[in-house]
A and B are shown apart, each in its own frame.
Chain A
């Protein structure tokens, strides 16, 4: 028997999926918050066409959890920290 087709690309906060660690819980919480915000904003859009356009646009922008990437803000913070560290090290050596 063939399995029904299930989409997996963003909705990963499942009942079966074990949440490992605080980081994962935080990711899931953020994702839920984001969904809640999309819902709220969509309700403010009266025109069905505009609403669909907005919802699809927002949902298409969601990164697939299977290929989870660090949020860009964290990436940026890590880069700044590395640059500061390197500068401090150079300053200490010189």
Chain B
């Protein structure tokens, strides 16, 4: 088998996130991984031959859906900035956006662009799915089936993996895959307590990056997109300052951190079938929302503010927070 053929039959890991879709590829059997991501967003424009040829000439990834030109992925952000419009999102709170008619075709377009066709029939691919949120039904089954519908025609043997468990797989080899993996994304914070790779508790908290953006935008009168840009530029979660945007972001970051810590404590305390854990377990934070400086410190403080039902050995940030879930999904696929 040639190198190219071998590469095209190696398993893939896919992180289907509300904000970004990331694919992890194993480059060889020595476990070197390569990541590629696309923004999970799009913008639409009225169809015209002139615009289409312009997009083609510029190499912009686009498709025609029902009389509209739809620009998806990273190019959507670029165009949104040029035209001063907000990008539209095919996913909301971890699952397909029910209010967005273009959600499925856009997801198909982005996923197909990232993973391509399987090459060899039945090529293994693990994709992330969210955990249930405690205060509502998110139609996870529909979301999961839809992603399967996208991947199966491409020739993949696609299997779902809970996002929190993927973080455990990707980051916790040192503790034999025992610990709490938390993925703080845009739509949700997904949490999984696993013991020796077996998921014991899975849940999600509906307050995450999007919540911070929309709430901070509402109180400052700014666009949510601007809040996101501010957050990604140089934001530090370190108390109140003179800047009102920074203050608003800090307030809602604190809200997310407190909610996450309290829900984690309450869920583990009330679990009916919690195993006896003789040793203390690590907590690993991943995802874009956990990246700003100060998040880890505040989260650790919130955890230690009250008694925690199990012993914690350490709380740390993942080595590569944006790619942890895809890496874990790839590891599951390689097993």
Contacts and interface: CB of A to CB of B under 8 A. Distances in A.
B173 A51 contact: yes
Interface residues of B, number: 31
B136 A6 contact: no
A33 interface: no
Given A8-B273, A9-B198, A53-B335, A2 B176 contact: no
Contacts of B136: 2
- Contact-size category for A: 20 to 34
A17 B200 CA distance: 16
A94 to B, nearest CB: 55
Contact of B177 (A3, A47, A55): A55
B134 interface: yes
A56 B197 contact: yes
Contacts of A2: 132-137
B272 interface: yes
B11 to A, nearest CB: 11
B226 interface: no
Nearest to A46: B173
Interface of A, secondary structure class, is mixed
Given A1-B135, A5-B132, A11 B198 contact: yes
Given A4-B132, A48-B31, A55-B176, A11 B200 contact: yes
Interface in A1-22: 1-17
Interface string B185-196: 000000000011
Nearest to B200: A7
A27 interface: no
B267 interface: yes
Interface stretch (A35-43, A72-80, A84-92): A35-43
A26 interface: no
Given A2-B137, A5-B203, A14 B196 contact: no
Given A15-B274, A15-B276, A6 B196 contact: no
B77 interface: no
A59 interface: yes
B119 interface: no
Interface in B142-182: 169, 173, 176-177
A15 B274 CA distance: 7
Q: Which of A7, A11, A53 lies at the interface centre, i.e. has the most chain B CB atoms within 10 A of its CB?
A: A7
B201 A4 contact: yes
A15 B270 CA distance: 12
22 contacts: A2-B134, A2-B135, A4-B267, A5-B132, A5-B202, A6-B200, A6-B273, A7-B200, A7-B273, A14-B272, A14-B275, A42-B196, A51-B173, A51-B176, A52-B173, A52-B197, A52-B335, A55-B176, A55-B197, A56-B197, A59-B196, A59-B198
Given A7-B198, A16-B273, A38-B196, 16 more contacts: A1-B134, A4-B271, A5-B203, A6-B201, A6-B271, A6-B273, A7-B201, A7-B273, A10-B198, A14-B276, A32-B276, A42-B176, A43-B176, A52-B197, A56-B335, A59-B197
Give the 9 A-B CB pairs with smallest separation, nearest first: A48-B173, A4-B203, A11-B275, A5-B202, A42-B176, A55-B197, A53-B335, A59-B198, A56-B197
